[in-house]
Amino acid sequence: MNKHKTLVIIGAGGHGRVVADCAESIAIYHEIIFLDDCFSTRKNNSHWPIVGPIAHWTKYTDNADFIVAIGSNTLRESLLKKLFATNSSIATLIHPTAFISTKSIIARGVVIFANAVVNVGARIEEGCIINTAATIDHDCHIQAYCHISPGVNIAGGVEVGTRSWLGIGSSVVEYITIAENTQSGAGAVITHSTQSNTLYLGVPAQPSRSLT
């Protein structure tokens, strides 16, 4: 639940700027600041200040909400778990132009960007990124720390395993299971359930290489 008027964004890259812009569009935060280990050489991420390295997050646990704006699913998971362990206030950010069914479930630490759709019965677990114009159809389950890239379309009843990353413009047919740590290349069309720790490419998507 978003409960403070200051938002601390961990990660000051391009993805972080989009997160900040999303947060600003919600108009509930009086202050939006970044923490990033580039602090020694950069003091701003576009319109927003970088106020310290990532390790300084402990200074804000009593008076700020947090969101982790790091594209790496593994690193985002690691940082969010540290925040969860200290009972920090973890934000959930949903852009005003996104459509989110009232009969869906969105966990803490999730960011849902402009023009995305999350339909009835869908569950989005903690730490996921639902990027610009991605669509999650009815009764899908997106497990924790996934990244659903811009323009991805996931048909109904799909299970997406933990830490999976579906590349820009990917499509997934209905009622299949995406195993944990699956990655798909740009424009891939996934028509069958996948193996874990594997990159899939093409139309229809085929396993390309192991990610371990």
Q: How far apart are CA 160 and CA 70, in angstroms?
A: 19
Express the helix, strand and coil content of the chain in percent, nearest 5 each. Answer: 15, 30, 55
Give the list of residues 6+ apart from residue 16 with CB closer than 8 angstroms, or none.
Answer: 9, 34, 36, 45, 69, 70
| Widest CA span in the chain | 49
Rg (alpha carbons) of the chain, rounded to whole number: 17
User: Would you name the residues annotated as active-site residues?
Assistant: 138
